[in-house]
Structure 1
Amino acid sequence: MGITARGVGLLVTAVVLLGVGFRYAYPELTVLGAAAAVAVGYALVNAAWRPRLLVERVADPDRVARGEPATMTLTVRNTGRLRAANLVAEDRCGRALVPVPLLRLRPGRNTEVRYEVPTHRRGVVPVGPLRVTRRDPLGLVALARPYGGTVPVWVHPRIHPLTAVPTGAGRSLEGRTDSVPHGSITFDSLREYVVGDELRRVHWRTSARVGELMVRENVDTSLPRIVVVLDNRATAHPTRVAGEAESFESACEAAASVVAATVREDLPMSLLLVAPTETEPAGAGGPLDRLAAAELTDGGEDVLPTAMSRLRQERLGDTLIFLTGPGGHTDLGHVGALRRAYPSVVVGVFGATQPTPAGAAGLVVVDAADGAQFAAEWDGIRRW
């Protein structure tokens, strides 16, 4: 509960008038002081009344690409039975406040407000809660309360269509790596039998040895397994324009474009950040949501070597796509060390003032100013 400056002044005046009136026996001053005290008390009681409001939000849609329109529909219902609500309300939309008229909202009635959600920047835009301010008629006390929860609107990076996709790498019986457009089913591991497994996949010799049914788990080794690594180190994207690193936004657009291409071709894909966040964003439903929530971080000097060591040990796929900015231009040696673990390594460098030397560290390097240029250069790659 907050007393305004006017209320503080009136309360001090009431105390002074009552003190002087009682001390020097001035009934007029005592009456004025009592009236001022009653006014403050009435303001406190009036502002303390808590209206019963039901707040609902619907985002249409709740996931958009950067620059696409998104609308938030806010519905406020007065669930009280006695009094009409006459309030001042504001809904928080990102960093902005949207006024919501709640004038004489009768019991059982509702009001609906629609407004545009800003999508000019990539990110997660939290909408809500509704902030309702209750004031007395004299403006002596103002009490603000939150109503409803928060609904996120996911603003994804722009997607630039990619026509080309990696062909994949298949492991031959001699241990070589062959690029093939179509693969075969290859034994990968054994696991316990579950209801629904085909009996022809049962490995009878192992089943007899362990005393329970074991089935073969097969994989298609020629199907390309793509690993997209986004360099979100602040040192890799040093240039800022209006507080935004354009090279990082371009890298996010390139990553989103690769993700969309792999989904279209139904290919397995993993998305990693060089400097991972401590917790996943709440409500994230896929790699595009992770890209929307991705932010630059300091990390430290050991972040990149640690990430590259993890990629080398886990071998998450056969095609590695590393996306960085002008500050990561000198760190490509760490990426080049992964060529033994990943037969195909493509590096995208965004916003560099000078082109990367051809064949740097034995990699396929794409220099691009933005996501659209990356897509054009990507489709021109002839060697994976």
Structure 2
Amino acid sequence: MTITSRGIGLLVGACLLLLLGFRFGYPELTLLGTAAAIAVGCAVGAAAWRPRLGVDRLADPDRVGRGEPATMTLTIRNGGRVRSANLIAEDRCGNRPVPVPLLRLRPGRDTTVSYPVPTHRRGVVPVGPLRVTGRDALGLVVVARAHGDVARVWVHPRIHPLTAVPAGVARSMDGRVDRVPHGSITFDSLREYVVGDELRRVHWRTSARIGELMVRENLDTSLPQLVVLLDDRAAAHPVVVDGVAESFESACEAAASVVAAARREELPVALVLVADPGAGDDFLDRLAAAELRTTSRIVSEERELADAGGEPLRAVLNRLRQQRLGDTLVFLTGPGGRDDLGQLGTLRAAYPSVLAAVFGDAARTPAQPAGVQVLDVADGVEFAAEWDGVRRW
């Protein structure tokens, strides 16, 4: 509860009038002071009235891609029995207020208000609570109260379609990618026998049925396992404009595109963030909530960071080398992470295929660390084009 400047002036005037009236015996001043004091008391009582409002929220949808439309719908119900609600209300959508009219909302009635949620930036947009401001008729006292819970709208990064997927290097009986050379694991087709074929490859049952020798054609399949390492260190993305690092936004789009392509092909994939050790099942939600972190904000095990000299990238690379989560590592970083690409060479024994993408680097130096293929790209669209052109896929 807040007393306005008008209310403070009236209250001070009431005290002075009462003091002068009683001190010098002027009943008129005493009457005016009493009326002013009663007006302030009535204003406090009117503003103290707490409306019984029920607030329901519905985000449609609550998870969207960047730039896609999303709508928040509020249903506000007056749970009172006698008095109509005639209030000033506003909702919080991210960092901006949204006015919500509550004029003559009768007891037992409800009203519905809808408004668009801004999705032009990747992130988690908090919506709410509804803030109701009550004031008396004279504007002497103002009371603001919060109603309802806070909802969240997850704005995912854009996904650019990727045609190519890594072939992998490990043979697998259950693999679905048949781009591995040789041919010894999985049956593919039958063909006619030619001189020089091994007799152990003859399919005798089919040969007996059709009257010609038929030979089995086998191929090797693999089940690639991808590890996407997203560099979310603030030092790796030094260029920030209006609170947004475009290189980091592009890296998030690239990470979402690679993971989505792997999920489409039903390939195992893991998403790892350098400075955020947390984990989650929904990779799009993790990317929506990802933000740049300074070294002081990194939450990690003290022993692990101590062994890595306090450097989070070195710590996560040590962990990846020990755990061996896959056979293909994709490292996504910004201009400030180019000097750290040499550390990826230590993973060659655990990850036969290592690719790094540097976003937003105007220098675009062609030097590449040994055993690491580097893509210099401007944004997610260019990354998708360069990715599909990688020969090792």
Shorter-chain TM-score category? 0.7 to 0.9
Aligned twin of 1:143: 143
Structure 2: which 5+ residue stretches go unaligned? 173-177, 187-220, 297-309
Distance of aligned partners of 1:28 and 1:233 in 2 relative to their CA distance in 1, 3 Å threshold: same
Supply the distance in 1 between the matched residues of 2:286 and 2:387 (Cα, whole angstroms).
23
Measured against aligned partners, the alpha-carbon deviations of 1:96-152 in whole angstroms (never above 9, x if no partner) come to: 000000000001111111101011111000000000011100000110000000110
Supply the distance in 2 between the matched residues of 1:222 and 1:21 (Cα, whole angstroms).
97
Supply the distance in 1 between the matched residues of 2:389 and 2:323 (Cα, whole angstroms).
30
Aligned twin of 1:93: 93
Aligned twin of 1:52: 52
Aligned twin of 1:155: 155
SS of equivalent residue, structure 2 residue 17: helix
- After superposition, where does 1:349-360 map in structure 2 within 5 Å? 349-357=358-366, 359-360=368-369
SS of equivalent residue, structure 2 residue 295: coil
State the 1:355 CA deviation. Answer: 2.2
Q: Which amino acid in the other structure matches residue 377 of structure 1? A: E
- Verify the 8 A CA contact 2:348 2:354 in the aligned structure 1: yes
Aligned twin of 2:386: 377
Aligned twin of 1:289: 285
Distance of aligned partners of 1:25 and 1:291 in 2 relative to their CA distance in 1, 3 Å threshold: same
Confirm whether residue 26 of structure 1 aligns to residue 26 of structure 2: yes
Confirm whether residue 328 of structure 1 aligns to residue 328 of structure 2: no
Supply the distance in 2 between the matched residues of 1:102 and 1:9 (Cα, whole angstroms).
29
Aligned partner (choices 364, 367, 372) of residue 376 of structure 2? 367
Q: Which amino acid in the other structure matches residue 299 of structure 1? A: T
- After superposition, where does 1:234-249 map in structure 2 within 5 Å? 234-249=234-249
Supply the distance in 2 between the matched residues of 1:7 and 1:30 (Cα, whole angstroms).
19
Aligned twin of 1:259: 259
State the 1:257 CA deviation. Answer: 0.6
Measured against aligned partners, the alpha-carbon deviations of 1:263-304 in whole angstroms (never above 9, x if no partner) come to: 211111111111016x67xxx761101101100011265111
Aligned twin of 1:306: 315
Measured against aligned partners, the alpha-carbon deviations of 1:134-193 in whole angstroms (never above 9, x if no partner) come to: 110000011000000011000111110000001122169xxxxx97389979xxxxxxxx
Q: Which amino acid in the other structure matches residue 291 of structure 2? A: E
SS of equivalent residue, structure 1 residue 347: strand
- Verify the 8 A CA contact 1:315 1:341 in the aligned structure 2: yes
- Report the RMSD for the aligned CA atoms in angstroms: 2.1
State the 1:318 CA deviation. Answer: 1.1
Distance of aligned partners of 1:54 and 1:183 in 2 relative to their CA distance in 1, 3 Å threshold: farther
Supply the distance in 2 between the matched residues of 1:95 and 1:325 (Cα, whole angstroms).
27
Supply the distance in 2 between the matched residues of 1:42 and 1:285 (Cα, whole angstroms).
56
Supply the distance in 2 between the matched residues of 1:183 and 1:294 (Cα, whole angstroms).
44
SS of equivalent residue, structure 1 residue 170: coil
Aligned twin of 1:9: 9
Supply the distance in 2 between the matched residues of 1:290 and 1:94 (Cα, whole angstroms).
19
Q: Which amino acid in the other structure matches residue 67 of structure 1? A: G
Q: Which amino acid in the other structure matches residue 252 of structure 2? A: C
Structure 1 runs (4+) deviating above 4 angstroms are: 181-185
Structure number with bigger Rg = 2
Supply the distance in 1 between the matched residues of 2:36 and 2:325 (Cα, whole angstroms).
74
SS of equivalent residue, structure 2 residue 22: helix
Supply the distance in 2 between the matched residues of 1:244 and 1:288 (Cα, whole angstroms).
19
- Verify the 8 A CA contact 2:78 2:106 in the aligned structure 1: yes
Percent of aligned positions that are identical: 68
SS of equivalent residue, structure 1 residue 143: strand
SS of equivalent residue, structure 2 residue 142: strand
- Verify the 8 A CA contact 1:133 1:143 in the aligned structure 2: yes
Q: Which amino acid in the other structure matches residue 249 of structure 2? A: E
SS of equivalent residue, structure 2 residue 168: coil
SS of equivalent residue, structure 1 residue 381: coil
SS of equivalent residue, structure 2 residue 57: strand
Aligned twin of 2:351: 342
Measured against aligned partners, the alpha-carbon deviations of 1:10-39 in whole angstroms (never above 9, x if no partner) come to: 111111111111111111111111111101
Supply the distance in 2 between the matched residues of 1:70 and 1:107 (Cα, whole angstroms).
31
- Verify the 8 A CA contact 2:171 2:223 in the aligned structure 1: no
Aligned twin of 1:207: none
State the 1:88 CA deviation. Answer: 0.4
Supply the distance in 2 between the matched residues of 1:240 and 1:183 (Cα, whole angstroms).
53
Supply the distance in 1 between the matched residues of 2:368 and 2:254 (Cα, whole angstroms).
21
- Verify the 8 A CA contact 1:184 1:222 in the aligned structure 2: no
Question: How many positions carry a matched residue from both structures?
Answer: 341
SS of equivalent residue, structure 2 residue 347: coil
Supply the distance in 1 between the matched residues of 2:240 and 2:363 (Cα, whole angstroms).
18
Supply the distance in 1 between the matched residues of 2:86 and 2:281 (Cα, whole angstroms).
40
Aligned twin of 1:130: 130
